[in-house]
Structure 1
Amino acid sequence: MGTALVTGATSGIGEEFCWQLAAAHHDVVVVARRKDKLEELAEQLHQIAGIRVEVLVADLSVAEDVERVAARLRQDEAPIGLLVNNAGFALGKAFVDNSLEAEENALDVMVRAPMALSYAAARAMRARGRGAICNLSSVASETGAGTYSAHKAWIRAFSEGLSEELRGSGVTVTAVCPGPVHTNFFEAAGVDMSAAPQWLWASPEQVVSEALDAVRRGQVLVTPRPVYKVAMGAMRVSPRWLTRRVMRSIPHM
């Protein structure tokens, strides 16, 4: 995979991607909004794993920042062999109770930015005849539960379509659909998940390990952990009205 570029790199799943890629001796370009956090992570990765780390400060809700990241993906020097579109967040409110500005910000980060970055990466990788794109979707993509699930459903469908467009080019696309993960994802959105049983949760290590294994195989869709493989299958065959009704009892993401 050569050099990897990871968005949302300073916490949770994104940070775990950086550490597992570093352990496999891949250089990384780390992308997030906070320069101090990025520089701290970069120093740790370099000192512990001995890899080369580039810091790219960018707010993916800002078009100019997205273009700077896309420009890095287009570079021929130290080419990017793996793009991980990981940046995202829970909204924590129902659509009609949220501000339109907050909803548009989420759309920019979780749909427009991955589309623009995938476009830049796919074209550059196809020209070289090799590369991989890994997009973070979610089991929420099957739930029909608000705009977060809509964004993640878009990511999954987009990844499937792009993977077919790139078939035979040497470039693969993988969409990862995890369930709840032990990160600060829910806490940051003010979503109380304390009542959720422990068996529902995955660790970032589990999710990233399965995701990278799928990328290496060229697998298009991967759902980490058996319990969520079953859940995804069940939601696909269940009546949609039943899935929507069950999701009413779960806090908004």
Structure 2
Amino acid sequence: MSETVLITGATSGIGAEFARQFAARGCDLVLVARSPGPLAEAAAAYRAQGVAVEAIAADLLDDDGLARVLDRLRVAGEGSGASRLPGAPSVTSSGTGIEPGRAPVTVLVNNAGYGLVAPFADNALDDEIRHLRIHIEVPLALTHAVLQSMRPRRSGTIINVASVAGFTPRGTYGAAKAAMISFSRWANIAYGREGIRVTAVCPGFVRTEFHQRMGVDTSSVPAALWLDAGPVVRDALRDTAAGKAVSIPSLRYKALVALARVTPSSLVARLAARGR
């Protein structure tokens, strides 16, 4: 049985890298992104490589957009069997809607998200609530939906892209990521008994468009703290396959997280305020 992987925020950064690596493993892709143009380009490029792709243009903060992705995740399909990350090739399919008989999603990657530059009290409350929704409410809703089809099959994989900020006092971004780390730890235990793996991936500074879109100056970040998206995703997939609830890419960030646990919170907060 081939894997069908749904990735949110799939056209840039870590999401795009997940798509590339899953495609290289022979998996079918369901790409979700807010901007139709880049989404169509990405889908066309994968189809030209012989990869089966569905493209869903959806703003996950819009009720209609979220509902369409939830509907796709609830597709149950037929059959069962152990979910494996390196899926086998399958018959090509494409489209933007829900079709009868469509393959169920066997891997969900909750990647969509963004950051806010200003501190909590300086942001409009509506901006903070939307920020909270994209990082907690949306991934929880998508996870709840996909579990409805994964649990009867007793197999599946859920990857929640969190951040090392979740291990530090870093405003509402860190708080949201901490919530997803905690949830993933619990869910990996609770649903691991049913053959479903749940992993929180916690990168640090990654060379993507994330900080540029925020308008954050990262010139003061030491070069040694920057990671490339490729190794981050490879580490994440390896840790997920091993059943780990938390994946912290690279030894340097593993060491920093361990250090953060024994360092005064005021110092950790000052360092964490620099970025993702």
Task: Give the match for residue 21 of structure 1.
Answer: 22
Q: CA RMSD in A?
A: 1.4
CA contact (8 A) 2:205 2:275 kept: no
CA contact (8 A) 1:146 1:252 kept: no
1:178 positional shift: 0.5
Task: Give the match for residue 191 of structure 1.
Answer: 216
3-state SS of paired residue (1:28)? strand
Match of 1:134 among 155, 159, 173: 159
Query: For 2:128 and 2:138, how far apart are their aligned partners in 1?
Result: 14
Does residue 179 of the first structure (1) align with residue 204 of the second (2)?
Answer: yes
Counterpart of 1:124, as a letter, is S
Task: Give the match for residue 63 of structure 1.
Answer: 63
Match of 1:206 among 231, 239, 258: 231
Task: Give the match for residue 31 of structure 2.
Answer: 30
3-state SS of paired residue (1:89)? coil
- Using the size of structure 2 for normalisation, the TM-score is 0.87
Query: For 1:112 and 1:180, how far apart are their aligned partners in 2?
Result: 24
- Unaligned regions of 5+ residues in structure 2, if any? 78-101
Task: Give the match for residue 230 of structure 1.
Answer: 255
Query: For 1:149 and 1:238, how far apart are their aligned partners in 2?
Result: 17
Counterpart of 1:55, as a letter, is A
Query: For 1:181 and 1:97, how far apart are their aligned partners in 2?
Result: 26
How many matched pairs? Answer: 250
CA contact (8 A) 1:137 1:177 kept: yes
1:252 positional shift: 6.1
C-alpha distance after superposition, 1:192-219 (max 9, x if no partner): 0012121100001011111111122221
Task: Give the match for residue 97 of structure 1.
Answer: 122
- Unaligned regions of 5+ residues in structure 1, if any? none
1:3 positional shift: 0.4
Query: For 1:55 and 1:164, how far apart are their aligned partners in 2?
Result: 32
CA contact (8 A) 1:145 1:252 kept: no
Query: For 1:245 and 1:105, how far apart are their aligned partners in 2?
Result: 25
CA contact (8 A) 1:137 1:178 kept: yes
Task: Give the match for residue 143 of structure 1.
Answer: 168
1:64 positional shift: 2.7
C-alpha distance after superposition, 1:87-144 (max 9, x if no partner): 0111111111111121111111111000000111122111111100000110000111
Query: For 2:275 and 2:200, how far apart are their aligned partners in 1?
Result: 22
Distance 1:214 1:132, change over 3 A: same
- Using the size of structure 1 for normalisation, the TM-score is 0.95
Q: How does 1:101-120 map to 2 (within 5 A)?
A: 101-120=126-145
